[in-house]
Chains A and B, each alone.
Chain A
Amino acid sequence: MIRKVSGAKQIAAIIKKDIIAELRTKEMVVSMFLFVLLVMVAFKYAFGDSESFSDYAGGLLWIAFLFTALLGLNRSFVHEKDEGCLEGLLLAPVDRPNIFFGKMAGNFMFISIVEIITVPIYMILFKLSIEGSIALFISAIVLSNIGISTVGTLLSTVSINTKMRDMLLPLIFLPVILPVLAAAVVSTGGIMAGVAGEKLANVFSAMKLLIAYDILFLLVAYALYDFVIGE
Chain B
Amino acid sequence: MADPMKIRATSKDGVTEVKVLMSHEMETGQRKDAAGAVVPAWFITDVTAQHNGKTVMQAEFGTSVAKNPYLSFKFKGGAKGDKIVVSWVDNKGDKRTDEGAIA
Q: Do these two chains really belong together in a complex?
A: no
- Residue ranges of A at the interface with B (Cβ–Cβ < 8 Å): none
